[in-house]
Structure 1
Amino acid sequence: MNRSRALGPVLALVIAAAVLAGAVAWAHVPARLHLHGGFVDLSVYQYGGRLAFDGLPLYGSRDPATNLRFTYPPFAAAAMIPLGFLPGWLVTALWTAASVGALAGAILVVGRALRRPVPGWLAALLAGGAFALEPVWQNLTFGQINLLLMLAVLIDLVHPERRWSGLLVGIAAGVKLTPLVFVVLLIMVGRRSTAGRALLAFAATVAIGFAVAPGPATTYWTEGLFKAGRVGPPELAHNQSVFGALTRLLDGVPPNLLWLAVAGPLALAVVALAAVWWRRGDRVLGTGFGALAMLLASPVSWSHHWVWAVPIGLALWAYSRWAAALWTAVFASRMFVWSPWGQRREYGWGPIEHILGNAYLLAALALCLWAVVLLSRQAGPITRRAGPSPASEPAQPLMT
């Protein structure tokens, strides 16, 4: 047992070293040879940081290396300023290592919250296995920030309340607005002080954005906030949100009122479901449903935003191995691109292609339906398969 515990950190260090070496090597490969991603989003983060440091407009130009715009709030650009001073290969290596570390950290947090602690070697193994999921490897190859934000939210929400609980959610919302959904969840479950701290932290990020870049901040909060097309074509198959599904179904961008009429009640219902699961004793799956509400409500939820498939899959394992396996298979198969996509070919989809092309969205809705059915069968606290129920029982390792 002691030997097993000692082996965990060793394996974690080996994997981290391999990730660093791979990231450095990848960064030196010409961009045209990158099979997926090519760390284009990380390049945009660096570009935004340099613009913020130089006091230049954030939203009127494109990154010369990728021809992409910086689309996050001004606070995010301020947070990226340190990246602008580092060479690309070093930023890539550090960012990749941090993302993989965040993935492993999320697995550890989930295991602890489920009272099934994850040994270090198993966390390393599960993190490596999670690379098979499309949202995870896309997140890594694009150099996206989603894994880091997911860990921040999990730390804030699944742990017992602390003095600083809520701050990480507020900061995450300052980087990417969508985590504000978790503030609604916190209010619904009665953690109003935590929700208040989250809102204060978010307000502080807005103030910092105005202090660092007053002009761009005004532009962002008054003009560009509700323009879904500013981050890419909303009809693209990779946009696994209600807005994306409606765009593909209607062969054109839907009116905002229609989108709000569909996505608003749906997201609110999923947040309510999250609150019920939370109150019944499962904070991990409750937080996961909150994340699904966030992904459904956002006008653009690219496939790499769905890294929440990992903690949700781990939580499902305690209830139904079949549900966990099916959920994982959806995100490993990448079936949303089995239909023709790109160059507006989504507008020509038939019924089967719409089902495949909205795979993540439909999987989320199916999971919510499963959760409602399970709740209707249990009047008391949620019971997990082979999991400890009373707090006095000792925690058991995950997947023993």
Structure 2
Amino acid sequence: MIPKSKIDKAGQVLSDRDRVYDELSLELGYVFDEYRKMHLEPLTKITLEIQSWLQSYDRKYYIAQRLKRKPQILRKLRRLSVRLSQLQDIGGCRIIVDKNSDVDDLIRYIRVKFSEIGYARVVRETDYRELGRDDTGYRAYHMLLDVSGVKIELQLRSQIQHYWSESIERTSVIYGKRLKEKEGDDCVIEYFKHFSNALFAIESRHELPRDVEISLQEKRIRAEDVISREANSVNIGGHVNSDIVRTMSECEGVGGQLNNWILVFDWNDGNFVLWDVVGINTDDVVSSYIRYESDFLEEDNYEVVLIGSSDISTVPHTHSHYFGIEHHNAALEGMEDSIIGIAMRSELDIGARRILRTMKTRKFWGSNTIKISTLKNHLCRNVATFDASLILLQKKGFVVGSGPVSLDIKMSNEINTFV
């Protein structure tokens, strides 16, 4: 066990940007790495435990874990002026469910389950959903867990709460500022706070007053103007790398086994750089993490993240922006893309919406049909979830036909809402 005083000394020295790197820095770097590594085994244990509980959960969910990045930890120490041993989110597990009411149900379910195991307990619960965090507008439900003496953070989010989080991450890449850490112009951060409030109102089934819509639109325009002026040196030319998930899935082990994945993202152009599956052995996993962090430095605008999942296809849902930035022409989405109809759009996955968009653009309506093989292998060849997404569209009645298919003209209003 590493003495707490040495852990805190490591955090203090390594987070001091003015300090000249010396032998003490090197020694305390090892202490930092060992302390972070201590979180991985209990994190994996509780993630797999929760995953086993969710097998009887009869609604859609996504679950993944992550071990916090070293640069992110050091920035947090500087920003909050806290000790390293006080940080409680070095190991984190995230669960995303459809609706806010599903979050409530899951909270009750998980509380009961934690009362039945002896090695882990809920230490504290914090609900950011109704008011959002004062600094950014972030919304989620957090449970602080004690797992075999190690603090682990469990995040529970609805799809809409997660949509906001991914939106601010995507904009951060384009802007070149970490907005969740309050970097950047106040008006951009203010926009996201109001954006979060608007999404909460919609998720709560409250009608958004027209003056609020107009005010939010004005804030968006001001924020976009700031971003366009301050981020003119950033050349975002990224794209969402959908095919890579299919390739990664071929490297997965036996179903149900959790694998750890290294993802490297380039902030310079918004592109996914590379991935590596690093297994489950704690020493090997963290050694690989440290090596990649050394090879792809934050100073060069790279971001290295370690994510654990039993199904890699869930990771683009839980951490989507690491796979590339799709819409880079405008930093912030317009009202029609972000507010109107979002509650309905959350019912369809990204793949289903891409299929709809493709068929609508190519005017495959009614009697103007297309073969499924042509749609899959040519027009939608980058949709990794094509088969499942098409079945979903057929179940909803948007796509009709069992051989050649087309969009149902009678469903045009609903389809237009999604795309």
Q: Rg: which structure is higher?
A: 2
Which bracket does the TM-score occupy, shorter chain normalised? under 0.3
User: Which structure's residues are more often strand, by fraction?
Assistant: 2
User: Which structure's residues are more often helix, by fraction?
Assistant: 1
- TM-score, normalised by the number of residues in structure 1: 0.28
